[in-house]
Structure 1
Amino acid sequence: MPPSLPRSIQAEVAHVRRRAADAQIESTYLDVLEKVSTDHPDLRGLSFGFSVNAAREIVLVNADELSKDQADRLLKVLNGSERLVKQANELADAQIEVFDAESFSATIAFNRQNYAKTIDISAQILAKVEARKAPRDGSAVEVHQRNWNNNWRQQLWAKGERV
């Protein structure tokens, strides 16, 4: 984005890009999870997250319960979806762009080199989907709290690299 644009315009453009990237990746990821569940039934229900690294590849995060074989198969499916890889990278770029445009924090470094250590895209998507379906009458407080905790900004504050 041209640095000659006023900061408020840069931030608004960044937000529009982030919202678009966020909306696109949800259905793609849910489709890929369905494929994983169908093609690899032993992976169904296992806990894992994913992010993207500086080389623009999908990497697993929070996947301690997976064996090496399970992790390898899962990565093959995730990285085998060109659409998911493209959209995950667009989301990462857009979130970093929002961070930069807003001057979000002078105490946190957020870039492609540390993105995968900071943001679990899967947790963000799945928590949002779960919260959208949950009642709003106070009976699903833990679901809505999980959604809040897994929002990319909350992940950034909780796990971001301090400078």
Structure 2
Amino acid sequence: MTDAPATPEITLEQLSGAYAMRAKFYMHMFDVLREEYGPDKTIELMSKATFRLGVEMGEKLKAHGPANIEALTEQFLNGIPCRDHLFSPELLKCDAEGMEIQFHRCPLKDNWEAAGREGDELEMLCRAAGAIDAGLFGAAGFTFKGETWKPGKTGCCRLIVEPGLAAAD
């Protein structure tokens, strides 16, 4: 009889390190593309890539689309690892008309700020990375109307999700 191998537990430190690596990748990709193509094309290209990643991730939420906002919200929030420590989400609304979540932290934004990114440059990084949410919720059949962080605002992204167009039919 052989014992099954133990499943390693992911620590907060390991997860934070993975987010830091992802933030650095986005930051370096942003810099390289901006040097080559300028800021507008850079945001366009990075947004396309992060949107596609979101579409892939949204497959797991499709069962709730286009209108089960409550189930979507529950699965989405429960799927965020170390969510309170890393993201500090505040659920502002969750009913049949839509869901709204304000994130008070973001490990990507935290790492970019630690690297000295600020103002318009930080806003551009957030916008490019934030396209993941449009892909995620759109692929699941919902309408996404979220906002990424902008200079002068506190916290981070605000997710706004409404029933998809198919729900109106």
**TM exceeds 0.5?**
no
Larger helix proportion of the pair? 1
| Structure (1 or 2) with the larger CA radius of gyration | 2
Higher RCO (Cα < 8 Å, 6 or more apart): 2
Larger strand proportion of the pair? 2
TM-score w.r.t. structure 2 length?
0.30
